[in-house]
Each structure stands twice: as C-alpha cells, then as structure tokens.
Structure 1
Amino acid sequence: MKRTALVSAVLLGTLMSSCKKETKTTTPPPAGGTLGTLTAENYGFDGGRSGKFSSTKAGFTQQSAAGVSTFMISAIRDGGSESITIVLLHAVKDTGVYQIGSDYDNGGIEIMKDYTKPGDLTQTYSTDNDGNTMHGGGEIRITKVDGSNVEGTFYAVGFNSAGKESFAEQGSFKGTISK
C-alpha cells in the first residue's frame, strides 16, 4: 500500500509538472519538437478495446531524492484524455527486463481513462492493483540506453478501485531523458 501511495504521488507530481513544462519551457526540445514517443498497438478499458494508443509528446525523466532513484515516462494519447505512465523505482543505466505488479517492488504502470480526473480512482488502472480473479502486472523491457536516449517495450494489465481491468499490449517507447 505504501508503494502504491508513493507511485501515485510521484505520478501526480509528474503529470502536474509535465503540464507546467509544456507551457514554460526554458530548454528547447530536441529535433522534431518532442521529448519522445510512446505507443501501444492495442489498449482498452473494462473489457473493451480502444484501439491504438499513440503519444508523440511523451515526457521522460530520471530523478534521485532521499536515496531513491526513479525513472518515469508520462504520455497522454494524442487528441485524447487517456494516459499511460511508467515508473521504475531505480535509475535506468543499462538494458534489462523488469517484471512489475503487486508481487514485485520495481515500480508500476498506470493507465488512466481521463488524466484530468486524478482523484477519481475508477479512472485510474494500476498494475499494483488486483482484480477478482487476476493479479495486475506486466513487463518493462529497456532495449537500448545511449547517454540520455532510451528505448524499450512494455505491456500491462491493471485494475481500478472497482476491480475493473485495463490493458496495454505491444507497447513501445523511445525518448530523451530530461533530468
């Protein structure tokens, strides 16, 4: 429960600071005008399929505070209000595979139906939550790290406060980590 609260606090802070960074940028974005991309070939909520998730303005951050390092990707679907946030509770320096979910202590993935309603827990689906018959979980695979550039893949199954399921399949990300 403490880990879920920590991840939720970090996610909310990042989403709020990401919005501020978009309106008050002091450093120009890399060529192409964005920090990175995140896609999921298939995603959905509550037993339905929503199609492809695509964000061309995903934010990549890596921070350390109080002896804890955190790597995070925050993405809002282009033209929509759905979001996917990936958190690893350590610095990303090399390639590797990270299992996530309520049985692991590596971080997690949250998929939101509407990122503008962070207080509505029925809108937030987390890999740290479990459903009635399944555990939440997934995998984050870092396939390339080159300086501050990172690439990888992911998949996730998460549940909201009512035990309803969300999923993201065949996910990929590529971006530049800001510090």
Structure 2
Amino acid sequence: MKKLKSAILLALIVATTGFSSCKKDSNGNTSGKGAATVKASLYGFDGTSGTTFSSTAAGIVKVGNMLTITAIKEGSKESITIVLQNVTGTGTFGLLQDNSAGHGAILSKDYTQPADGTLNYSTSLPSPTGVKGGGEVKITTLTSTTAEGTFYIVGHNSAGKDGFVENGTFSGKVN
C-alpha cells in the first residue's frame, strides 16, 4: 500500500505540473499538456446519489510503463486520479485493493488537500465492514500519442465512507 501511495503522489505531482504548463491560444483553446477529457455519468461520495463528472483539461501521462490519468472536475476541486503500472498496450487493468500489479485510484473532494484522509477515497482502503475498494480500467486505444478507454472505481476514505465513479471514459493526448 505504501508503494501505491508513493506512485499516486508522484502521479499527482506529474499531473499538476502538466496542468500548470498548459497554454491557451488567442482563441482560448488549450494546447500542449492536458489535452484530454474524462467524463462519468455517475459520480458521488458518502452515499449520495450520483451526479456527472466532466473534465476537458485532464492529463494522461505515460512515464516508462506507468500510465496516469488525472482529471479535475470542471468548476470544483474534486478530482479523479488513476495509476496503472506495467502498461505496455491495450487491455483490462483491475483496481482491486492490494492487487499485485500496484494499480490504484483516488477520488478526491479537494485535490489541494492530499493528506486529509477524509477528503480522499482510495481503492487501497477497505470500508468498515471489510468491503474492498476496487474497479477496473479498460484501455481500448494506446499509442505513443493517444489513449482512450473506460473505467469504474469504488474507493473508501479514512472514515470508511464510500466514493464511486461509474460509466467513466477517458480520451486524449498522451504526454
């Protein structure tokens, strides 16, 4: 779990750096890093009904065989971060708690407070009843320049509350 937390922290740093280096041209279009979208039709925390999640300035970063997908919900500080290890092509990657591959995800109510365990819902934490966090990522396209796929996530915070994403999609430029 410590290895996963380190990888996710590194991914957040890389993604934040990517977002901060985005540039807008005179027409307001984003160029360079962050040229990806992440959407979900159901997304929520703490037993609430699902709402939508949309980010049109998301980041997909591949360093070696580690692929990170990070998105900040438009108009909020909520975010989704997915870290996949040993990605060499398309396929299905499980996010089940304590998976041997080291894959994981964090849903955050406030990405500016990564150390607050009550605001961050991880696939590496169980619920109070022992239900494991998890989910799945299906990468349907992966080239040196583009990626796309689908995902769902169930995470828990340090207080044992649930966060979830269903019907998630990602697509865009790989940095």
TM-score, structure 1 as length reference? 0.85
**Does the CA contact (< 8 Å) of 1:14 and 1:74 recur in 2?**
no
Counterpart-to-counterpart distance in 1, 2:18 and 2:120: 18
Which residue among 73, 82, 99 is the counterpart of 1:86? 82
Percentage of matched positions with identical amino acids: 39
Question: In structure 2, what is the equivalent of residue 149 of structure 1?
Answer: 146
Deviation digits for residues 36-57 of structure 1 (CA, Å, limit 9, x no counterpart): 1001110100111251000000
Deviation digits for residues 145-165 of structure 1 (CA, Å, limit 9, x no counterpart): 244211100000000111111
Counterpart-to-counterpart distance in 2, 1:53 and 1:167: 11
Counterpart-to-counterpart distance in 1, 2:22 and 2:118: 27
Measured on the aligned residues, the alpha-carbon RMSD in Å equals: 2.2
Question: In structure 1, what is the equivalent of residue 9 of structure 2?
Answer: 9
**Does the CA contact (< 8 Å) of 1:131 and 1:164 recur in 2?**
yes
**Does the CA contact (< 8 Å) of 2:92 and 2:138 recur in 1?**
yes
Question: In structure 2, what is the equivalent of residue 111 of structure 1?
Answer: 107
Counterpart-to-counterpart distance in 1, 2:3 and 2:111: 20
Q: Give 1:19 shift.
A: 4.2
Aligned CA distance change for structure 1 residues 49 and 14 (closer, same or farther; 3 Å): farther
- After TM superposition, the structure 1 = structure 2 runs for residues 50-129 of structure 1, keeping only pairs within 5 Å, are 50-64=50-64, 69-91=65-87, 93-106=88-101, 107-129=103-125
Q: Give 1:11 shift.
A: 3.3
> Which runs of 4 or more aligned residues in structure 1 lie more than 3 Å from their structure 2 counterparts after TM superposition?
none
Deviation digits for residues 120-177 of structure 1 (CA, Å, limit 9, x no counterpart): 1111101111112210000000011244211100000000111111000000000111
Residue 29 of structure 1 pairs with residue 25 of structure 2: no
Counterpart-to-counterpart distance in 2, 1:39 and 1:76: 10
Which one-letter code corresponds to 2:156 in the other structure? Answer: F
SS at match of 1:101: coil
Question: In structure 2, what is the equivalent of residue 173 of structure 1?
Answer: 170
Q: Give 1:79 shift.
A: 1.0
Residue 139 of structure 1 pairs with residue 136 of structure 2: yes
Counterpart-to-counterpart distance in 2, 1:156 and 1:135: 11
Counterpart-to-counterpart distance in 1, 2:20 and 2:92: 32
TM-score, structure 2 as length reference? 0.87
Q: Which consecutive unaligned segments of at least 5 residues does structure 2 have?
A: 25-29
Counterpart-to-counterpart distance in 2, 1:54 and 1:105: 30
Counterpart-to-counterpart distance in 2, 1:11 and 1:119: 15
Q: Which consecutive unaligned segments of at least 5 residues does structure 1 have?
A: none
